[in-house]
Structure formats: structure tokens, C-alpha cells
Amino acid sequence: MGALYGEYSYIMDGKSRIFIPARFRQELQKEDKTHFMITIGFDRSLSLFLPSKWEELISNNMQIFNYENKEEERAFKRYFFGNAADASLDEQGRILLPHNLKAFANLKKDVLIRGVGNKAEIWDVQAWTEYKKTKVDPSLDKFSKIFDL
């Protein structure tokens, strides 16, 4: 099961299609599948999963944390899984973004695909730039003291 990493810039076409990086498509081919899974992400991004990683989420019923408020947990799962869709690749290596997901992430024309290990995130370029400036950059100093890379 492959990891997704790297940053890639694309232009979304008028039909709401975006290219998927060749490296990500190769990981999909290794799984002998023709579609990714896409759903809402955090911080107004979209999450793109390889089928194997999606199946891990399903088989674990997203038990990644021991959340005590089961009502809120159910609400989140309903929203997360209810917004999920197959993202089939066309012959040119593009996927079609569902309207509801495109609206959720406020995607316009310039998009950024960032591999973050177990998934990829799809961001509006301006939203990523602002997020990076306010959240990522300030945390780099903190994490540089924790990790010895």
C-alpha cells in the first residue's frame, strides 16, 4: 500500500475536472483499481484516498480516536461518509469533482494537490497559501524541536 506525497499545481477545467499526479495514478494501478475515493477533508480541503486506505477506514469504522461523545461522532461519520464519492480516472488521468465537494472546498480554478501520506488533499491555492501562513509556518519551529530528521 503506497504512500502519497509531494505537491502538485493544476488548473481545474470548466467541467470541474482536475489531473491527478502520475505518481498517484501509479499507486492506484498497483492496487489494480480505476478510482480513488474522495470526500470532505479538514480545513476546507478535500481528501483523496487510495481504495486500500479507504477500506482501512471502513474496516476500522474510523476508530482512530476514543471520542466520548458518540452523538457527535455519529454526526461526523454521517457527514464524512455521506459526502464520499468514487473518483474515477478518465483516459487523460483526470477526475471529475462532484459539485458539493467543489463548493465545500471553495475550489475555483487553481488547485493544489498535496500528498500527506495516507491520503492526498485537494486545496484551493489561495486557501492553502493562507493556511500555510497562519498554521503551518508557525508550527515548523515547534516541530523542529520534536523531530530529529
* C-alpha gyration radius of the chain: 16
pLDDT for position 63? 62
CA 141 to chain centre: 25
Detail the DSSP E strand segments found in the chain. Answer: 4-11, 17-19, 35-40, 46-49, 85-88, 94-96, 110-117, 120-124
In single-letter form, the type of residue at position 112 comes to L
Structural domains in the chain, CATH included, are 4-146 (3.40.1550.20)
If pLDDT is split at 50, 70 and 90, which confidence band does 101 have? very high
Helix boundaries (H) for 31-89: 51-59, 70-82
Write out pLDDT tens, residues 137-148. 778 777 777 776
Spatial CB neighbours of 67, under 8 Å, sequence gap ≥ 6: 73
| DSSP structure class, residue 97 | P
If pLDDT is split at 50, 70 and 90, which confidence band does 93 have? very high
Number of Cβ within a 10 Å radius of residue 114:
17
Identify the weakest region by mean pLDDT among 37-46, 63-72, 107-116: 63-72
Please state the rounded mean pLDDT for residues 94-116.
97
Q: Would the pLDDT of 17 be above 60?
A: yes
pLDDT for position 142? 79
Identify the weakest region by mean pLDDT among 43-47, 74-78, 85-89: 74-78
Spatial CB neighbours of 104, under 8 Å, sequence gap ≥ 6: 40, 44, 46, 83
Q: Would the pLDDT of 130 be above 60?
A: yes
Identify the weakest region by mean pLDDT among 3-12, 47-56, 140-149: 140-149
